Each structure stands twice: as structure tokens, then as C-alpha cells.
Chains A and B, each alone.
Chain A
Amino acid sequence: MNSIDIFPWNDNFNTGIEIVDQQHQRLVLLLNRLASHLAFQTDLPALDDIFDELAAYAVYHFQSEEAIWHAFLPADVLEAEHKAGHEDFVKTIEQLKNQQGTQSVERVIEELLAYLARWLASHILENDRHMALIVQGMQAGASAEQAKIDAKLAIDCNLKVLIDIILSSYSSLTRNTLQMMRELVAHKRDLEFLRKLSLAVDQSPSSIIITDINANIEFVNDSFLKVTGYSRAEVIGQNPRILKSGQTPDAIYKAMWETLSAGEVWEGELINKRKDGSLYTEHAIISPIFQAEGNPSHFLAIKEDITARKQAEIALKQSEEKFRSIFEYSNDALMFMKGDCYVDGNSSSLAMFGVESVEALKGLTPVDLSPTFQSDGSLSVTLAKGQIDKAYSDGFSRFDWLHRRKDGEEFAAEVGLYAFKLQNETVLLANVRDISERKRAEKQLAESEYKYHSLIDLAGDAIFIIDAATGLIIDCNRSASNLLGRAKSDIINSSQTTLHPDNQFEHYQRLINEHIVSGKAIAEDMSVQHQDGRIIPVDITATMIELGGNPVILGVFRDITKRKQVEDEMRIAATAFDTQQGMLITNANREIVRINKTFTEISGYSANELLGNNPRILSSGLHDADFYADMWRSINASGVWQGEIWDRRKSGEVYPVNLTVTAVRDKQNNITNYVATHSDITQLKQHQVEIEHIAYHDPLTQLPNRRLLADRMGLALSRAKRTNESVAIVCIDLDGFKEVNDTFGHDAGDQLLIEAAHRMQHCVRTEDTVSRLGGDEFVLLLGGISNRDDCEVTLRRVLGEMTKPFNIGDTRSICISGSIGYTLFPEDTADADTLLRHADHAMYGAKQSGKNRFHRFDLKQDNRVTANWGALTLIEKALENGEFRLFIQPKVSLLSGQVVGAEALIRWQHPIRGLVYPVEFLALLEKHELSIKLGHWVICEGMRILHGWVEQGIDLTLSVNVSARQLRESDFSSKLAATLQEFQSVPPRQLEIEIVESAALDDISKVSTLIMACRALGVRFSLDDFGTGYSSLTYLNRLAVDTLKIDQTFVRDMLDDDNALAIVRGVIGLARAFNNETVAEGVETWPQAAKLKAMGCGIIQGYAVAKPMPAENFPAWLTQFQMPDLKDYL
């Protein structure tokens, strides 16, 4: 930086104390630097630095000075004054510095400089000098006082005036110097600017012309000369019109002058002529230049030769137009993309995407014009990015794309993306071609091809295409492959001779040729050979067609195996129809449509007489309308009716037939026909009467046997109930008959029995029954009895007849007697069996009392009845009083050692007798209603216990015993369902019903149906006491039970008795075969359990595990039970 010394150091300033003088010189330097700043207009931060430096240095200097003064003049008034002067300086500098914000920099600096100059002068020249003199005096040895006096003297009073003068001259000098220096700097700056401007004008690539107000050229630069070819001398003073080419329209010049005259800047293009006559285009900016007073004095023209640019522009424009038209008229959508955004697009693209304008297209991305997913399910956004990136990196990318119009319609497109540089930027040209039509066409083609192939392939008939010349199979369908059992690949290119059974081809070939030539529809009764050797009958249709110019045979083979079968069946059916049974077929309207020969033979009607008629033409008139209505109801409901019916022959004779009518239904289940099979059972009927007689009669005496007696009793008892009359049930035993047999032989005995039977029959009315039960036991049923005497009259007669001698064989006379017991119904209101027993009982009484007499059964005296009745009453009361209990006996799995269930066993908690076991009372109930009641209680109680278990979280099966009688009750299953319903918390599978095997076998079909019904409710079943009932496998199969319980007798004996062991093993095997669980009952020891486990038995029950226990004890028992290790017992 330029610097000036406005306050040059002068030796007069020296105080004589070296350190002080050095520091004074430093202060003067700072003062001068500040002055330079002012002169050269430096910036503020530098000024701040100077202030700070000045202040800091002043303080440092003052400390040095004060230290010296203090050393020599401690606590002197001079020292204090001096110090005050210092403080004053610091304060003033501070004030000046703070003025910076409010006053111009120049002003601040000027004031500062003025203050500094004055202060330096007075302080250094006066104060410091004075002090220095004192110090020097004292250093020379003078006392302080003396030194002060000397110093005072040394500084002349006039000196002060001198200082003021010096100071004022310094002050004005300083101000002038500064001013001058400032101007100097400004001038230098102007000169520099002009120099740069002149260089710029001269070296500007633009032509610059300056004319005076009259357009005489005053100045041109080098570029002008270069462009026009003129020299400076040739143009200075000339009018610029020398450049005029005549090509620029006059209007332009006119406009130019108007603009310039208005004092405004004109800008435009001119076509000018160089010195050599060549033309050039220039762009000109011409502006008037105004003088200070506001009038234009010159014109300045800055012009640029734009000939080359102009030509380039034209070329570009042409090329652009060419390109545009290609771009615009392309059928493909063409779009430019920057990054992944469209920036431009042709009209095809707008039309294709349904975008209304290029503006609207701008900023869209391919994703905006695509569905979310491409046809392969990929996300469009991901795929698009990949393709765009590829185009940018590889230069291009071509792919199929699913686009979407703005209106949402999607179309398939083929897209090409091509990258190229445009103005240093890589852009993409996107070429999008709508190929949805093409796709559609492709798809249609594929579909129609597929359809054709499917049709051919799915055709049920086998189709072969055979080269007529070579006989090779060219093609075939799937059915062909199936028909022959050969792969298509195996068939194709094989000879047609391989299609047919060996050695038969020539025969077939001839037939087929005839067929082709004759055009006959079908070549029948042909056959092909299946791979597995079967000969398959086929119909063949063959046609000669041309394929690719070659004659080929199109052969359609139809497998007619099924048809053949149907034909065979029909033949069989037709044969069967003409069987020994009469057959009659009607249509759905019950009009006879066909009968067979046998029917004609039986009925006497010919087919012609019957066809079209209703079968009622055959009816005998013996059955009422209800009978036929029932019959048709049954046919329509169940599809079949079978029974015996009386029909009438054409001859008028009525005859019995066994008729089966079956409804024939079509696939829609509509009845199409009724088929009646009809056999004349006239002879059978006669035979049947004989058989029935045998079945119901005693072969010896021809009297009704026990079966017929039971029937007759049933009838007699119900009649008696209706008529209020009594029936006598009479038992007769011949006294001494055994002896007759023993003495005279069985034949004689038989003869006697026959004779006795006759006599008895003579004693009774015809409507009464005399029957023989066997041996010498006879039973009479006497109806229409009004009192005891009625009956006894007859009985006396019988007794009398019996005592008459019997003449048997060779006129031997035998004498016997009879003992008779009887009872009267309804006085004795028992059932048939009991009545018989009562009569029998009375008969014993008669025998006891001496024979040849009759005894009447006396109900009141029949103690046994009393006992039975009494016992039943007790049980009934006990049930009402809630004295029955279910005891629980656990069942344990041998596999897991876990308790898996329990059996509920009934106990009678008798108030006096204590626990009564079922064996003591259950048998009494067997034939009594009460057993049903008790059985029901058992199921309900079982469910109640199960309910308790469910609440305690015990998930075990509880089995209850159900008697055969209870099971056979008609409402058993519905009652069970109701009980289950009552305990909804209990899953039905937790209830198991145990029925005794022998009971189940009593009425197997009913019981198996019942088991099914109950299992449908979810209840399980087990067969109790298994092994005692001689179940056959078939029976077991029919009884759908879950569990077989091995009877305890076998379990008990099995370790000692090989037979028992075999049975146990057999039952386990059987159970396994039927997938049943086995429970061994009555397991008393662990060795038994171990053996059972070894044999594969699943579950055990018995004392070994636990005795039956009150239900309330069971949960506690359950928690402590632990199965021992059975290995220890093997």
C-alpha cells in the first residue's frame, strides 16, 4: 500500500530517554499509517484494527513511562498529572472510535488525526520533555526538588507558543496533504479505466462505429475493418451507408431512423455489402449518445457479423422441419424423454395415450401411462426403470410393454428406447407401437389352433391321418392313442397294418377301400388290436382328402365295445324277458306296452288284447281300492312293491300271483316304466297251506301246536277284552301216561294221545282250541265263558272222557285220568305266558291234590306272584326314594398306564340292608316295565356324573349298561337324544353304552339299526361280556360298536385255562380286525394285566386297578392312581 508521512519524525521530538523515544516513534508511525488510510480510502475493518492497535500501544507506552516517572518521582503531583493526561488520551480515542457509527469514516479519521497530531506535539514536546529533564537531572545527582526547578527553567515559556505554531502548521499541512493525495489516487483510477475501455473497444469481436449526429463516421474499431474489408482512412468521415447492399428492406431503415430520432436504441438485422461487394448479415445495436446537457451528439453502433449463424440457422430450421414432419407424421408414438420424464411427443403419441397436448405430456413418466402391473405380474415401475436404465447405458432398449391410456384403457405395445446426445445431454427417443391388434390376432390364431387341436384331441372317436401312398400313419389324436393303448409317438410313422389284428389287415383294407369308393357311411364290424392284445370292435368312417397336395386317408374309428355290450345285454334281457315268469311292462301312464309269452300263458290274454290297456283289466275284484292305492304309493315311494295278489284270467278264473312291481326311472329320476313280474302261485299257495299246517300243528294229533296256540290266545284274549266275556286257559296233563309209554310202547302212547285229542275236541265247541304242547301236555282255550261254572262243566266232561278206557291197537283197553288246572282271563289279568304258567301251576295243584281233578288258579293264594309283585314294588319304591347309586369302576389303558374311562355300575343303597348288588335285583326286572324306568335313570345319572366331570376337567368316557329290553324300546334313541340335549356341556362321545353281547344277538337287525341311530348322536357303543354269546364274524360286522369287553370269566381263568386264554386271544384279535378297542373285565391281578398287555389288549378294568367306588370318590382316586410297571409281573 502506498503510504505517506504527514507527521515525519524529527529529532527535536527526542526526550533523551531511549525507551520513551522509541515508543514515541512507534506512535508517530501509527499516526502516519492512519493518515494513509484516509488518503487511500481503505476499508473499515482496517481502521478498527488501527484504533485497537493505537489504543493497545498507547496503554503499553503509558505504563512504561509511568513506571519510569514512578521510580523517580513516586507520589509526586507531577506524576499524577501525567497519569491523568494518559487516561484522558485513552478516553478520547475511545470516543472517536465510537463516532464511527454516526459519522463518515473520513470525518472520523480527520478528527482522529487532528487530535493525535496535537496530542503528540504537546505531550511529547512539553510534558514528556519536562519529565525527562527531571529524570535526567536526578540521574545526574540532583535532588528531586532541584531537578524540577532545573527542568522548569529548561523549558522556556516561549517554547509553548512555538509548539502551538508548529502544531497549527502541522494541522493544515496534514489536511492539504490528505486532500491532494486523495485526488491523485482518483485520477490514477480514471486513467486506468479509460485504458481498459479503449482496449475493450479495439479488441471487441463486434464492429463498433461511432458517428457524429450527422452520421459521419468518427471512429471504427479493428473488427469493423476486418468485417468490411475497408481501412480506417477509407471510412472515417464517411456515412455508414457505404455499406448498404440494397438487400435490407427500406422499412427497416425507416424504423431505425424513427427509433433513433426518438432518442431510443434500435436493434435489428441488416444485410450489408463489404468493400469487395460480398454480402453479409449483421446484427446491429445503434444507440444515440447524449451529452451532459441532454442533446444527442453521437451515434454508437455495435454490430455483429451473423452471416454464418444465419446460414446455420436456416440449415437447422430446414433440418428441424424435416425432422418435425417425420416426427409428427409417424404412426408410431415418438416421444423424447429426459431422465424418465417425457418432454415432447408427436401427435401419434398424444392420440395413442389420450393425452390432450404436448404440455400435458410433459412431466409424465412411462409409469403414469402404464397399469400398475405388467402382464407377467411385475410392477411396472420396477420394469420401466430397468428398461430406461438399460437404454441410457446400452444406447437402446427394445421390449414389449403394457401401456395404459389416460382414459384407463390398456394396450399392448412394442417399445424402443434410443439414447442420443442433445445439447450435451443424453435424452431418450421413445418409439411406442400399439401392437394390441397384432396380439389379438396372435391370440385368436393360437386359440383357434388350440380349439382345433382340442377338438381333434378331445374327440371321443379315434382319428388317424394315413398317407394313402405309403400306408404310414401321419398323425392321430389322443383317443387314437387311448384306443390302441400306444403312445402317439409310437403310432405316428407306423404302418396302418399295425392297427388291426394280425393277418386281418388285407380283409379290412378291402372293406375300407370299398367303403371309401362307395361312399357308404360306415364300415362296420371292424376291429383294432389294443397293445395289451385285446381285440376292440370299431366302426370306421374313412374319407380320402388332400393334405399338402398328397392324398391321405382320414380315418375315424369309433370304439363300439360298449354298444356291443349293450346289444349283448339287450339280447340277454330279451331272452330273460321270455322266461317262465310272466312279465308286463307299462309306461309311466300305466298303459301296458309289452308282455312276454309266459304272461300270455298265465293270463290267457294275447299281447294285442292287452297293449295300451291299464293293468286293472287283470284285477280279480278281490282287493279293494285301498289295497291298490297302498300298492302304488309303495311303488312310487320306494320304487318297488312285492306281494301276493289275486288276479283274474281271461277265462274268468281267479288265481293268486306273486307280483313284484318295479318302477324304472330315468337319469332325471322320473318314472318311465313299471315292470311287473308275475308268477302264478296257485300251486305254491296250495303247498304253502300244507307247510303252514305243518308249522302250526302237532304232527301226531293234528292239533294246533304251541305256536298256533299263542296266535289263538292272542286273538282270544283281545276278543275277550272286547266282549266282556272270559277266556279259560286250561292245562291238561294225563295221569299215568308215562307208564303207558313204558308198558305198552311209544306207538301205543301215540295212539292214546291221538285218541285223547279227539275226545277233547268233542268236548269243546268248534271255535274253542285244543292244542298239544308236547308229551302229554294239552292246553284248551275256551271262549265265551260267562262264569266259572260254564267252564267247569266242560272240564268235568273232559275229565270224564279221559277216564273212559282207551282201546289201542289190538283192542287192549288202557285206563288213565287227567289232571286239569285252569285260570280265567280277565279275572286273572296276566299276559298269555303268565296265564299259561298260572294254569300250569293250578294243574300241579290238581296233581298234588290227588289227580283226576281240576284246580282253578287262585290269584290271591299264589304266593309266588305275591313275592314277585312285592319285590318289584320294593324296587320301584327304592327308585322313587333315590336309593340307587352308580358306582364307578375305572378303566386303564395298558399302553399309557392312564385312566381312559370308567364303567358305571348300579348299586342299591338299601336303608337297612346296605349295599345291594345288581345280581340280586336286576334279573327280577327283566320282563318288567320297571327295567325301562331304571335303565333311563342309569343313563341320566351317568350323564349327571359326566357333567360333574366336565366341570372338574375330567375328560373320560363313562359307560353305562343298557338292557336288551330297554334298547329295543321304540323310543330309546329319541329319549337318549333328549337326555344328551339336557346335558349340553357333556360331549356325547363321553357316554358309552354297554350292551350284553347275547342280548344284542337276540334281535341283531333291530339292535344294529339302533346302534347306528345312537352312534349318529355321537354316543359310543361297547359289547359287554363278549365271548359268551357266540358272535359270528358277520354279526360283529353288523354291530357297529367301538369296544369289545372280554367277559370276566375268561380273564379270570386265562392264566390257568388254555381255552379261556385262547378265547381272550381270539377276542383281542377279532377286535383288532374290526378296529375295535378291547377292554378286559375282571382283571384282578397285575400278572393278568401283564399277560393281557402282551397279547395286545388295550384296556383293563377290575380289582387290580380299583373296585367300583362311589362316584364322589372317583376324582380323588384318579389323582393318586399310578399303574405299576407290568414288566415286573411277566
Chain B
Amino acid sequence: MKNDCQAIVWNDSLVTGVQVIDKQHQILVDMLNEANNRLTERSGREVFEEIVHDLLSYALYHFDTEEALMVTHHYDQSLQQIHFQEHRNFSRTVAQLQQDLQQNKLISRDELLGFLNGWLVNHIMKTDKQLGSFLCQPVADEGAIS
């Protein structure tokens, strides 16, 4: 059953152009790959716990970076709201996973992988790239963000 999902290889479609964001995005891609690798339908709670733990860390750390950038650079308010909302939803889902784990309810491997894939496609490839293009705009007095 292992390896039946192809590992995601980092590629241009994922690049936002903002180095710090991209580096963090790669973490998520790694996590997704590792989950893909390590999880089987019979995987024990420990593996899930480790993955969920990592996702929680990631959500805190990464969203903080992005959101700080949005605030600092006065990203469009409505876009900011949409963006924030997606982050909140991600966090809430991971938190739910964490809670379920605590109550010994294990999510299925496919569900977890599906969720992470969906995030990759819907958020990173759309919302984050949108942010990336905003941040990469040359700004007269701030210079380029690299």
C-alpha cells in the first residue's frame, strides 16, 4: 500500500516568488511526502500524532510569517480577510485532527492526504501566489522583497 501516492516534487507551480514563504511551503510539501510515505492504513497513533504535531507547528509558524508580511506591507484588506480566513480554516481543521486524536479517533490516511493536497492546490497555488505577486511588486520606497 505504500507509495501509492506519488511524492510531490517541488516545482515552479508552487513558487510564490517570496523566498521565505517558499521555503516554508517546502516544509509542507516535505510533510505531505513524509505522511504519504509513513502512513499506512494500519499506522498507529504515534505516526498520526507526529504528523499532526508537525502540521500544528507549521500552521503557527508559517501563517505568522505570511500574516505579518500582509500586515506590514498593507496588503489589500479584503484579500487579507480572505487569506486570513483560509488560514483559520486550515488551523481549525488541524486542531480538530488533534482533538480527534486525543479522543482516539484516527483520521484515515486518505482523508489526511486529501486535505493536505487540497490545501496545496487551493491555497498555495492560488491565494499564496496572489500574495506573492503583491509582495513581489517593486515598491518605490521599500524596494523589492526577496
Contacts and interface: CB of A to CB of B under 8 A. Distances in A.
The answer to whether A and B belong to the same complex is yes
Interface of A: 841, 844, 848, 863-864, 866-868, 870-872, 874-875, 912-913, 916-917, 919-921, 923-924, 1028, 1049
Given A867-B27, A917-B95, A924 B84 contact: no
Contacts of A863: 23-24, 26-27, 30
Contacts of A864: 27, 30-31, 54, 57-58
B68 A921 contact: no
Contacts of B95: 917, 919-920
B75 to A, nearest CB: 12
Nearest to B60: A871
A923 B98 contact: yes
A247 B42 CA distance: 160
Contacts of B7: 848
A920 B57 contact: no
Nearest to A921: B60
Contact of B24 (A848, A867, A921, A923): A867
Given A867-B57, A874-B60, A924-B53, A913 B27 contact: no
Given A920-B94, A923-B53, A1049 B103 contact: yes
Contact of B58 (A848, A867, A872, A1028): A867
A1028 B103 contact: yes
Contacts, number: 82
Interface string B56-98: 1111111111011001000000000000100110010011001
Contacts of A912: 64, 67-68, 71, 84
A871 B30 CA distance: 17
Which of B26, B53, B67 has the largest number of chain A CB atoms within 10 A?
B53
Given A844-B37, A919-B99, A924 B57 contact: yes
A921 B56 contact: yes
Interface of B: 7, 23-24, 26-27, 30-31, 33-34, 37-38, 52-54, 56-65, 67-68, 71, 84, 87-88, 91, 94-95, 98-99, 103-104
A924 B60 contact: yes
Which of B34, B64, B84, B87 has the largest number of chain A CB atoms within 10 A?
B64
27 contacts: A864-B30, A864-B31, A864-B54, A864-B58, A866-B61, A867-B24, A867-B27, A867-B54, A867-B62, A868-B53, A868-B57, A870-B60, A870-B61, A871-B60, A874-B64, A875-B60, A912-B67, A912-B68, A913-B63, A919-B99, A920-B56, A920-B59, A920-B95, A920-B98, A923-B98, A924-B57, A1028-B103
Contacts of B33: 848
Nearest to B26: A863
B23 to A, nearest CB: 7
Given A863-B24, A866-B61, A923-B56, 7 more contacts: A844-B38, A848-B7, A863-B27, A871-B61, A913-B63, A913-B64, A917-B95
A374 B87 CA distance: 97
Contacts of A866: 27, 61
Contacts of A874: 60-61, 64
B130 to A, nearest CB: 18
Contacts of A868: 53-54, 57, 61
A21 B53 CA distance: 158
A924 B56 contact: yes
A863 B57 CA distance: 11
A863 B62 CA distance: 11
Contacts of A872: 57
Contact of B91 (A841, A920, A924): A920
Contacts of B52: 923
A251 to B, nearest CB: 142
Nearest to A919: B95
Contacts of B98: 919-920, 923
Which of A848, A916, A923, A924 has the largest number of chain B CB atoms within 10 A?
A923
Nearest to B68: A912
Contacts of A924: 53, 56-57, 60
A475 to B, nearest CB: 80
A1045 to B, nearest CB: 15
A866 B61 CA distance: 9
Contacts of B37: 844, 848
Which of A863, A868, A921, A1049 has the largest number of chain B CB atoms within 10 A?
A863
Contacts of B38: 844
B61 A867 contact: yes
B42 to A, nearest CB: 13
B26 A870 contact: no
Contacts of A923: 52-53, 56, 98
A871 B54 CA distance: 10
A874 B59 CA distance: 12
A-B pairs with the 3 shortest C-beta distances? A863-B27, A870-B61, A871-B57
Contacts of B27: 863-864, 866-867
Contacts of B58: 864, 867, 871
A628 to B, nearest CB: 47
B114 to A, nearest CB: 21
Contacts of B103: 1028, 1049
Contacts of B94: 920
Contact of A913 (B31, B61, B84): B84
A867 B54 CA distance: 8
Nearest to A738: B2
B56 A871 contact: yes
A868 B62 CA distance: 10
Contacts of B91: 916, 920
A912 to B, nearest CB: 5
A923 B60 CA distance: 12
A863 B94 CA distance: 19
Nearest to A918: B95
A721 to B, nearest CB: 27
Contacts of B67: 912-913
Contacts of A921: 56, 60
Contacts of B104: 1028
A871 B52 CA distance: 14
Which of A844, A872, A919 has the largest number of chain B CB atoms within 10 A?
A919
A419 to B, nearest CB: 104
A1092 to B, nearest CB: 20
A870 B71 contact: no
A919 B100 CA distance: 11
B59 to A, nearest CB: 7
A920 B60 contact: yes
Contacts of A870: 57, 60-61, 64-65
